Amino acid sequence: MTDKSKITPHMLIVCGPSGTGKSTLLGHLLSHRQTCCLSRSTTTRAPRGTEQNGVEYDFVDIETFQKRIENNEFAEYANVFGNYYGTPHEMIRSTVEEKGLDVLFDIDVQGARQLRAQYPGVWCVLIAPPSFEVLEKRLRSRGTDAPEVIERRLNTARQELAQTDLFDFTIVNDVLDVSCSQICALYDALRLRNR
């Protein structure tokens, strides 16, 4: 039998355009598997709603973020719609070494490429819509974004969905129950992988 205390934690990147259901699927996975946690990013954007510093994100000013870039403190970072987002090496280290948990990442394709370059063993899954028309309908029906924001998100989605070389797996989020089962099965397979 394998000593579970000596199993090396794994990392899974989950990417996909806005409106594909990444947050819903990650929430399902986190509620059904206690061996993983979601990475916490550092960002220069302002907190939204009830977000708290150190809970959903670590909120910093642009000057602080740029100093951290210069000090090579991020495993990946990107400027997304005018705000910086980044994953600190220290967050990954403490999650893996101190907590012994697997790390899930909800990041864009630019960040995924950077992270994968530094951590080659990470798996990357694309959450895709059943069609581009369905994605557009989802974004427009949310009623949370201005038309120009929706157009920008759709343009970004086209670029992200075209980068198939980055992804090890694709989950087409059409029937939610099926997609939830698939992401759990994928995570379980990752846990069984030999390094």
DSSP states along the chain: ---GGGPPP-EEEEE--TTS-HHHHHHHHHHH-TTEEE--EEESSPP-TT--BTTTEEE--HHHHHHHHHTT-EEEEEEETTEEEEEEHHHHHIIIIIS--EEEEE--HHHHHHHHHH-TT-EEEEEE-S-HHHHHHHHHHH--S-HHHHHHHHHHHHHHHT-GGG-SEEEE-SSHHHHHHHHHHHHHHHHH---
Q: Can you give the pLDDT at residue 126?
A: 96
Q: Read off the CATH number of the domain in which 153 is found.
A: 3.40.50.300
Segments forming the whole domain that contains residue 14: 4-192
Domain count across the chain: 1
Q: pTM score, two decimals?
A: 0.86
Residues of the chain with pLDDT under 50: 1-7
- Residue 195's alpha-carbon distances to 10, 24, 191, in angstroms, are 9, 29, 10
Q: Can you give the pLDDT at residue 2?
A: 40
